[in-house]
Amino acid sequence: MTRTSAPRRGAGNGMVLGVVALIIALAALVIALCRDPMQSGLALRNPFNPLGGYDVETAAGAAKSQLEMRMKNDVRAFAEMERRMKDKQLEEKVSTFRVESEADFKRDKKDDADKKSPWTGECKILFVTYKDDGKDKKEVYSMEKHNSGMWDRRGPSSFEVGTTNKELQKKMDDWVIVAEKK
């Protein structure tokens, strides 16, 4: 006795459900990749071209676009614009950047506001050289240490250094003056 089995009802529902789930997953992926987190709502952008919605090819368009970037707090577009304009210069500066010498300097923490500051007062004065557009440049980098252990370029000016260390102030001033005369 052979039994012919008729197709079961609802057997195709699993396939339909799988296709619907795949479509929903792909839509979620597109939204995740293209959604602009700096914009409210579902503002989609091309993730591969942050300047996509801006006219930066004409002077008038660039001026308006920069205002729009500020209005929208579009950090990615600003960063991309900066990268495209300064890429070659920065690449040359980084590849030729050398610290010729460094000096220690300690800021005095006089008042309560200074004592509560997250900055340690420990400073390094770096005398650096690099190339900019093929020309040799010299610059003084004043670095200050944060409580976190990281350093930032917010150290003392030549004037501030001169209040306690005239010799270091002269070295800083001479380093910059010699660079400007070249």
Over residues 41-75, the pLDDT tens digits come to 666 666 667 788 888 889 999 899 999 988 988 88
Does residue 170 register a pLDDT over 90? yes
| The model's pTM | 0.59
The strands making up 151-152's β-sheet, listed across from edge to edge, are: 98-106, 119-132, 135-146, 151-152
Are residues 167 and 101 located together in one domain of the fold?
yes
Single out the residue in 79, 94, 109 at which a domain terminates: 94
User: Residue 156 falls within a domain, yes or no?
Assistant: yes
* 9 has a pLDDT exceeding 90: no
Cβ atoms of 105 and 120 within 8 Å: the answer is: no
Q: Tell me: pLDDT of 123 over 90.
A: yes
Query: Is the same domain home to 57 and 102?
Result: no
Between residues 46 and 133, the one the model is more confident about: 133
Q: Is residue 17 part of a domain?
A: no
Residue 53 in any domain: the answer is yes
Same domain for 48 and 120 = no
In the chain, pLDDT over 90 holds for what percent of residues? 37
Q: What's the total number of domains in the chain?
A: 2
Q: Which of 25-39, 86-100, 122-136 has the lowest mean pLDDT?
A: 25-39
> Residue 79 belongs to what domain range?
22-94
Residue 65 lies in a domain: yes
If we measure between CA atoms, which residue out of 78, 153, 148, 87 comes closest to residue 120?
148
Same domain, 102 and 175: yes
